[in-house]
Amino acid sequence: MSLKLISTDFDGTLVPAWDAPQRFCDELVELLQEIRRRGIVWAVNTGRSPALLEEAWGTVGVDFHPDYALTSERDVFRPCSQRKGAWVDFGDWNTRGFRAHRELFDTALPHLRQAVAYIKAKIGARILYNFDHVNDPSEPAGLTTKTEADMDWVVAYLDEIRTAVPKLHYQRNSIYLRFCHEDYDKGTALSELARLLDIKADEIFAVGDHYNDLPMLGGRHAVHVACPANAIREVKDTVRSADGFLAKREDGYGVVDALKRLL
């Protein structure tokens, strides 16, 4: 098989989760250099915004950037040719996504306001307002809870009520959750990048550790999938069902083990 594109989650996959981003381990740096030498395209596929990705990049200890950045679990960016570390829209996916989210949130807003008020009263979740695609600062864009158990409760509640608004969905990453249009996730963003680059699913590798990675790990958007040992059970189950590789080592070390099998 010929590998042409790799899609890697960032937090919990390239670096340990939830600490301030750390340096990539030496083995990972070596492997990424090998990937570049072979001309394989590397996309970081993350819930971070471009600004938060760039902030993290200051600490990881490599002097090169990924070839593409798939951010906020939806957007597709290519590097800006004028400025290192800056990203610009690749194709019109982001514009279409923005419009789809605008239309969705216009319809969903009363439901979302009601839902977050209830969630806040019930478990004291912190409501997040300032994501990129939100014009109205009072428009809830997502939320965060104190514990995973609280977030389990939140998603169970949201699954009950979101049927009232077609296409309303969410992306969960541990105790963080972002509301979104159900057609936009790490999987569909990856497929759009692949379409723009004319790369097929069986030439793509994807790796991730958490709920928001599930859409790109089912085998449809990338045939070759993997997860590090620290991945949550749901990710491991999905990777196993897609005949993927469950690494025995954590985060960046697990990514190295998964990719070495393919190279």
Binding positions for Mg ion, rule: CB under 5 A: 9, 11-12, 209-210
State the nearest-atom distance from the C-beta of 17 to Mg ion, in Å. 6
- How far apart, in whole angstroms, are the C-alpha atoms of residue 204 and residue 200? 7
Nearest to 141 by CA among 215, 64, 49, 55: 49
Q: What's the token pair of residue 47?
A: 């819930």
In this structure, how many other beta carbons lie within 10 angstroms of the beta carbon of residue 42? 17
- How far apart, in whole angstroms, are the C-alpha atoms of residue 154 and residue 115? 10
State the nearest-atom distance from the C-beta of 13 to Mg ion, in Å. 5
Closest residue to Mg ion, Cβ-based? Answer: 12
State the nearest-atom distance from the C-beta of 253 to Mg ion, in Å. 15
The DSSP H or E segment spanning 160 is helix 148-161
State the nearest-atom distance from the C-beta of 251 to Mg ion, in Å. 9
State the nearest-atom distance from the C-beta of 208 to Mg ion, in Å. 6
How many alpha carbons fall within 13 Å on the CB side of residue 83?
A: 5
Q: Contact at 8 Å (CB) between 24 and 258? A: no
10 vs 105, beta carbon nearer Mg ion = 10
40 vs 214, beta carbon nearer Mg ion = 214
73 vs 209, beta carbon nearer Mg ion = 209
9 vs 250, beta carbon nearer Mg ion = 9
4 vs 74, beta carbon nearer Mg ion = 74
